[in-house]
Every structure is written in structure tokens, then in C-alpha cells.
């Protein structure tokens, strides 16, 4: 089987991809600067520490491992930070991805599976987004991912680089065996924040905005289990290995859940109360973002198997109780 370079392989999604790759018989090579990743998470193959903007380091890693393909997860991804410091997102996400693409081509590695985002669509309330929806990112995070998609497309036209791009929204859950999971410092994602509030690691969960035009006033998002997400990435890898052309896929359940609905589900799963405070809206947050996955289902045969709120929270809660990587 193949060696696959996994950028961000010590992070939340990247580490789950590495486990899935190893289970499929591949050798995942995690490439991570460990700024937001964890060395303990890179346990399913070699770990190469480095930054995406370091061309010499990338060249050395490509030469040492000769990967057949790249799975590209490494990126800054916080909307609030992107609103306040857009330059950091353009430098890291775009310049880093450009450097990666150039290094991959120089090494003769022409297959890339890219972790993009449905934030490239921006604010489009009241619709279920698909791959033909207009691209109107409203913050530097979404705009930087859109730019990377364009880099891949242009490198494809000019140099024969082939890519599968996945656009998705909120990822949740954890490895069902609780070997790895979601662990950020500081934490910014809804499900782990809820679990921290439940067990007293923080005084309360803050709901950012309760006056949105939704049934309960809170934002609505589409949630996909991390295991389902990485199964799509493996399907994308197979797509390219079979010699098929570049393609863009949305990944979602087609069903959105509000912040309050996620809180209620966590109460039901854990049997514990969730202390809550209400705060103002955050800049850059959209009201409702829901994605369809009809193309992924039809062409990749992908269907989410664990992406119910209950299962995602159950798996996240099991992982949370291990203490994470700092224990």
C-alpha cells in the first residue's frame, strides 16, 4: 500500500485520518508544526515536524518518504481570529498551501486531497448548499480556503496536479475507541465546550447570539462525525488513485441543528446539566449553514454512518473522560 503525507496529521481531523489510513494498510506520514497539534496524536505512522511555509523542510520530507499523495488538513481555522487578523490566515493558509503544492509537484507527487470548508459559500441562509452554490466567503478563513482551491485548480490546468476538494462545516465526535479525539488549547468548538461546562472545567457555556432568525434564536449548523469525514477523504484518495479527474464535494447531512439543540442533546446523552450564559453575536458568524452531499453519495458512495447528534456527543464524551492529551 501507499505512503500518504498528511499535513496537520497531529491535529484533530488529521490524526483521525492517519488512523483510518493505517487501518486501510497505508503508511500515514504526519507533517505538523505542533502549534495546534499534539505529538501524542501522531501515533499511527512517522511524525515529521515542520511548517508548511518551510520549502526546504518539505522537500526533505518528500525526498525521504516519497508519498503517493497528500492529504492536506493543516490550516488556521478560527473565524473570530480570522476577522481580527486576516493577514495571519492569508500567510499561513494560502502561502503554506502554495509552498506545499510546489513541493509536491517538484517531488512528482500529483494527487492532493484537500480539506476545504463550506465557509467558502459565506452567508446563504435558507438554502441547502451544494457544489454549484455561489462562492461568497465573508471572512479570511473562508476566503483563504477558497484561494487554496483556486491554487489547486490552476496547478491542475498548468501542471497536471489532480485534487479532490471537500467542503464541510462543523466536525464533531471522536474516535469510537477513544484513542484520539478533539483537544484544543484554548478550546473554541461547541461540543467540547459543552462537555467542559458539564464537568466543571469552565463555569458555563456562552451562547454567542440568541437573536438570530431561527426557531430558538441561536445559530444553526450542519454537524458531521469526524470518522465519517475521514472516510470521505479515503474515498477521495481512491478516486484519484483510479486516475479520475479533479472534483469538488460537499460533505454534510443536509440537516442543521441549533446551538440550543446541541446543548439539549448533550444533556440527554450525559445525564448532566449544562450551565449556560448568553452573550452577544460574534463577528463573522452566519445564521444558518447546512450542506448537502448528493454528489459525494452518488460518485464516491459516501454516506455518513455516525453523524447523529447523539452518537457524536457519545463518542466525544467518551474521549473527554480520558482527559485528553494533557493528562
Q: Which three cell numbers stand for residue 88?
A: 495571519
Selecting among 12, 89, 121, 141, the annotated active-site residue is 141
Is 31 tagged catalytic?
no
Alpha carbons 136 and 146: distance in angstroms, whole number: 9
Helices 96-106 and 55-65 meet at what angle, rounded to 10? 40
SS3 138: coil
Alpha carbons 124 and 64: distance in angstroms, whole number: 45
Which ranges of 206-293 would DSSP assign to H, the alpha helix?
226-241, 259-270
Of the candidates 6, 51, 2, the residue with the CA atom closest to the CA atom of residue 233: 6
Look at the alpha carbons of 12, 120, 109, 231 in this order and tell me if their dihedral is positive or negative: positive
> Residue 288: enclosing H or E segment and its boundaries?
strand 288-291
Contacts of 68 (CB under 8 A, 6+ apart): 2, 3, 4, 109, 111, 241
**Annotated catalytic sites, by residue?**
141
Amino acid at each position: 500500500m501507499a505512503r500518504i503525507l498528511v499535513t496537520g496529521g497531529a491535529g484533530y481531523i488529521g490524526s483521525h485520518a492517519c488512523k483510518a489510513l493505517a487501518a486501510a494498510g497505508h503508511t500515514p506520514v504526519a507533517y505538523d508544526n505542533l502549534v495546534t497539534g499534539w505529538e501524542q496524536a501522531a501515533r499511527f505512522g512517522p511524525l515529521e515536524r515542520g511548517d508548511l511555509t518551510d520549502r526546504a523542510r518539505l522537500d526533505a520530507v518528500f525526498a525521504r518518504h516519497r508519498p503517493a499523495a497528500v492529504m492536506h488538513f493543516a490550516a488556521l481555522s478560527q473565524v473570530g481570529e480570522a476577522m481580527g487578523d486576516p493577514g495571519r490566515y492569508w500567510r499561513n493558509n494560502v502561502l503554506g498551501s502554495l509552498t506545499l503544492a510546489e513541493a509536491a509537484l517538484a517531488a512528482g507527487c500529483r494527487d492532493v486531497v484537500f480539506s476545504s470548508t463550506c465557509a467558502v459559500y459565506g452567508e446563504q441562509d435558507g438554502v441547502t448548499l451544494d457544489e454549484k452554490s455561489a462562492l461568497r466567503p465573508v471572512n479570511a478563513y473562508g476566503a483563504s480556503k477558497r484561494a487554496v482551491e483556486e491554487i489547486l485548480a490552476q496547478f491542475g490546468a498548468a501542471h497536471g496536479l489532480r485534487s479532490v476538494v471537500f467542503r464541510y462545516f462543523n466536525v464533531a465526535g471522536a474516535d469510537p475507541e477513544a484513542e484520539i479525539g478533539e483537544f484544543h488549547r484554548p478550546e473554541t468548538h461547541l461540543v467540547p465546550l459543552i462537555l467542559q461546562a458539564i464537568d466543571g472545567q469552565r463555569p458555563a457555556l456562552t451562547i454567542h447570539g440568541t437573536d438570530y432568525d431561527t426557531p430558538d434564536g441561536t445559530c444553526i449548523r450542519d454537524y458531521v462525525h469526524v470518522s465519517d469525514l475521514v472516510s470521505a477523504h479515503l474515498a477521495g484518495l481512491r478516486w484519484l488513485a483510479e486516475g479520475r479527474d479533479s472534483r469538488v464535494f460537499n460533505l454534510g447531512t443536509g440537516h442543521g441543528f441549533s446551538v440550543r439543540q446541541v446543548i439539549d442533546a448533550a444533556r440527554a446523552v450525559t445525564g448532566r446539566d449544562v450551565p449556560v450564559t448568553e452573550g452577544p453575536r460574534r463577528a463573522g458568524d452566519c445564521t444558518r449553514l447546512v450542506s448537502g452531499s448528493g454528489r459525494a453519495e452518488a460518485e464516491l458512495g459516501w454516506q455518513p454512518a455516525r453523524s447523529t447528534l447523539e452518537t457524536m456527543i457519545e463518542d466525544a464524551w467518551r474521549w473527554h473522560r480520558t482527559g485528553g492529551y494533557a493528562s
